[in-house]
Amino acid sequence: MLDFIKNTFSSVLGTLIALFFLGFMAFLSLILIAQALHDPEPQIPEKALLVVDLSLSINDKPPTASIDQVIEEAILASHMERVGLRNLLNSIEFAKNDERIKGIFLHGNLQSVNFGSGYAAIREVRAALEGFKKSGKPIYAYILNAMPRDYYLMSVADKVAMNPFGEVFFNGLGIEMMFYANALEKWGIGVQPVRAGKFKSGIEPFVQDHMSEEHRLQVTEMIQKLWDSMAEAVSESKEIPIGQLNAAANRDRSFRAEQALETGLVDELVYFDEVLGHLKEITGDDPDERTVTQVDLGDYMKANREKGSSRSENKVAVVYVEGIIVGGEGQYDQAGAKKIARRLRDVRLDDSVKAVVLRVNSPGGSAQASEIIQREVRLLRGSKPVVASMGYVAASGGYWVSTYADRIFAQPNTITGSIGVFGIIFNVQEIAQDFGLNWDYATTHDFAGSWTITRPQTEGEMAQLRDTTEWYYARFLQKVAESRDLEIEYLDSVAQGRIWMGHEALKVGLIDEIGGLEDAISEAVEMAGLESDYRVVDFPRAHQLEEVIQALLEDRELDVSFDPARRISRRVEIELEWLKAFDDPRGIYLLPDIQFQLF
């Protein structure tokens, strides 16, 4: 009787679980199908203004999402927060020649998700807007409050308007770094670091409470060069002498509306309702109309996603390495070595792919993970042209994965180099003892269990960690020397963990060309001899409904694009994201000295 009850209960429970799963799948399918059906192809009106709300993150790669994000976004129908750089550039180029588009309206404040909206990407967008202006169509920008990168981008407009109670913060650049050493000591968490390279200061936040003088020197030089390039562009666009612009930036913490107008940063002070009148003049709308004829960026991109693209069988693949490099698949905002290596292997074995652009926007991460990716780049280079395109940052591990490309492109304000290595080991012995927890050990050999975090490393173990760190540094130098045809001695003099801006990296031989993503694609096309017979394919690709459902059934993360993505995390969460990078099984890392907030 007991067995009968058990079997009956098991059958009923199994049936309920199956029904729940089928019901959930049906519910999810209905949501996704309803969303697809509810979202018809946008119609672009005649004589329209392309409205670009900059309150988004301009990321190198198309936005990606995990299954739980897909469900969340489908249910909440949240607005676009991320946009792929190439998609944005293509949209601006398409709008330049689209007779329906009479001008562009810029407003809002840039966001940053996973190294998005970096200065290199903004430089490319600004150049695309400059190209748009050559069509004779106007660009109108409206500022409420603008941070340096917001104003740098908006200053390209033919007319920059500002709210009479707004502010412009275009008064230099600064950085701030979070240091964990005192907190770790207070919490009883031990830290034992080693490093190779006198400028390799990525471990500083964990072992001290301030910047070293070497690190302060290099980051000060970095932000000075960033500012110089921005100020030069603004000076040219707004016809303000560079000396006058720098003097004005030194006077006050910000430019209030009247000061911005007097300095020449803005052209007029108006409220938003007055802005509409100016915009109607661009589109030719009746002044008495309630609003202006317009199309927002998201709809415009959606309406034109298939237009102008070639149907050629010859493909140029753009493979993105964005985020901290970690082992395995990684999270949606990380560059998982297994995932990136799989993409590179797929394009290598795909005969229709004639050339590859490796777009890198990463500060590096795990040394082993970086090597896994680099191995695939080396194999790929043996079969078809590979061009590396560096975004905002391609340093340390980001440089490690790039160095074997046939050609390397970077923007003048790209952060690159940082050829150096550090090792770091944490232990929780003290904090555990505070809670009455202790460990004891029994081992067969002297170094057994040396990777435990329950005790500090011994002198012998630390000596071996130093040896391993020096070994990785030597291999780093050897790889770059081989791939870049440089002498080891010379390379060591420009390495040492030092970060370089793109134009400096060109002088010291770490890159080949100054240029953006589109320049790198053009170079790959030329190297493959494709002329005009090609099409560009992104990896990750745009999503398809059946792929979303299939990914759910297989319980895996989507390797496809899904827009929009989640809201940006809070500042402290962003800072603590760095801790996720420390997953290398050997404790060896290729991370640069840029764990700071630029403001």
3-state SS of 39-87? Answer: CCCCCCCCCEEEEEECCCEEECCCCECCHHHHHHHHHHCCCCCEEEHHH
**368 and 490 assigned to the same domain:** yes
For residues 495 and 493, give the distance between their C-alpha atoms in angstroms, rounded to a whole number: 6
How far apart (Å, rounded) are the C-alpha atoms in residues 260 and 266?
6
Q: Could you say which DSSP state residue 500 is in?
A: E
Amino acid, single-letter form, for residue 435: F
Q: Is residue 39 part of a domain?
A: no
How much is the pLDDT for 598?
54
The amino acid present at 398, given as its one-letter code, is: G
Query: 437 lies in a domain?
Result: no
Rounded to 10 degrees, the C-alpha dihedral 76/77/80/83 comes to 100
Q: What is the CATH number of the domain that holds 136?
A: 3.90.226.10
Strand-pairing partners, residue 352, are: none
Q: Count Cβ atoms below 10 Å from residue 262 Cβ, excluding itself.
A: 12
Identify the domain boundary among 303, 334, 352: 303
111 and 55 in contact (C-beta within 8 Å)?
yes
The count of structural domains within the chain is 2
Catalytic choice (396, 402, 418, 483)? 396
For 492, the domain range is: 315-423+468-562+569-593
Give the residue carrying structure tokens 């770490």: 510
Instruction: State yes or no: is 200 an active-site residue.
Output: yes
pLDDT of res. 21: 52
Provide the 8-state DSSP code for 286.
Answer: -
Helix boundaries (H) for 106-161: 119-133, 148-154
* Residue 17 domain flag: no
Residue 155 neighbours by CB distance under 10 Å: 24
What's residue 25's pLDDT? 54
CB atoms within 10 A of CB 509: 14
Return the number of other C-beta atoms located less than 10 Å from residue 527's C-beta. 16
As a whole number of angstroms, the distance between CA 549 and CA 64 comes to: 15
Does a structural domain hold residue 333?
yes
Question: Please, which residues bridge with residue 421 across strands?
Answer: 196
Residues 321 and 382 in one domain: yes
Q: Are residues 264 and 363 in the same domain?
A: no
Has residue 294 been placed in a domain? yes
What's phi and psi for 357, nearest 5 deg?
Answer: -110, 120
**What pLDDT is stored for residue 7 in this prediction?**
53
CB 299 within 8 A of CB 43: no
Contact partners, residue 434, CB within 8 Å, separation at least 6: 188
Give the type of residue at 394.
A
* The one-letter amino acid at 211: M
Q: Is residue 439 part of a domain?
A: no
Q: Is 510 part of a structural domain of the chain?
A: yes
Check residue 569 and give its pLDDT. 37
Q: Which two tokens stand for residue 503?
A: 């134009």
- Whether 307 is a known active-site residue: answer no
**Same-domain check for residues 148 and 178:** yes
Tell me the one-letter amino acid at 92.
I
**What SS3 state is found at 103?**
strand
94 and 161 share one domain: yes
H helix or E strand, kind and range, residue 23:
helix 2-38
Instruction: Provide the pLDDT for residue 553.
Output: 55
Identify the domain boundary among 277, 303, 329: 303
Give me the catalytic one of 102, 137, 200, 354: 200
CB within 8 Å of 349: residues ≥ 6 apart: none
Rounded to an integer, what distance in angstroms lies between the CA atom of residue 341 and that of residue 120? 25
Closest C-alpha to 106, from 147, 158, 65: 158
Both 291 and 348 in a single domain? no
Q: What is the pLDDT of residue 360?
A: 96
**Contact between 534 and 312 (Cβ < 8 Å):** yes
446 φ/ψ sector (left φ>0, alpha ψ -120 to 50, else beta)? alpha
Structure tokens, 557:
């993360």
- Same-domain check for residues 220 and 329: no
What's the longest Cα–Cα distance across the chain? 94
409 lies in the same domain as 283:
no
Query: Would 455 be classed as within a structural domain?
Result: no
- Cβ-contact 589, 203 below 8 angstroms: no
- pLDDT per position in the chain (599 positions), as tens? 445 445 554 555 555 555 455 555 555 554 554 454 445 567 788 888 999 999 989 998 887 655 555 554 444 444 457 888 999 999 999 999 999 999 999 999 999 888 888 899 999 999 999 999 999 999 999 999 999 999 999 999 999 999 999 999 999 988 888 888 888 888 888 888 887 777 777 778 888 888 888 888 888 988 999 999 999 999 999 999 999 999 999 988 889 999 999 999 999 999 998 999 889 999 888 888 888 999 999 888 888 776 655 678 899 999 999 999 999 988 878 899 999 999 999 999 999 999 999 999 999 998 899 999 999 999 999 899 999 999 999 999 999 999 999 999 999 999 999 998 888 888 888 888 888 888 888 888 888 888 788 888 888 888 888 898 899 999 999 999 999 999 999 999 999 888 999 999 999 999 999 999 999 999 999 999 998 899 999 987 644 445 555 555 555 555 544 333 333 333 444 445 555 555 555 556 566 554 544 55
Q: What distance in Å separates the CA atoms of residue 238 and residue 258, rounded to the nearest whole number? A: 16
Do 287 and 242 share a structural domain?
Answer: yes
Number of C-beta neighbours around residue 592 at 10 A: 29
Q: Are residues 262 and 407 in the same domain?
A: no
Same domain, yes or no: 163 and 281: yes
**Ramachandran quadrant class, 336 (left: phi over 0; alpha: psi -120 to 50; beta: rest):** beta
In 169-236, at which residue ranges do the beta strands (DSSP E only) sit? 175-177, 190-196
Looking at 263, 283, 303, the residue that finishes a domain is 303
CA distances from 505 to 367, 410, 508, 572, 594 (A): 22, 9, 5, 32, 17
pLDDT of residue 348: 96
Residue (of 110, 11, 10) closest to 55 by Cα position: 110
- Distance in angstroms (rounded) separating the CA atoms of residues 517 and 62: 13
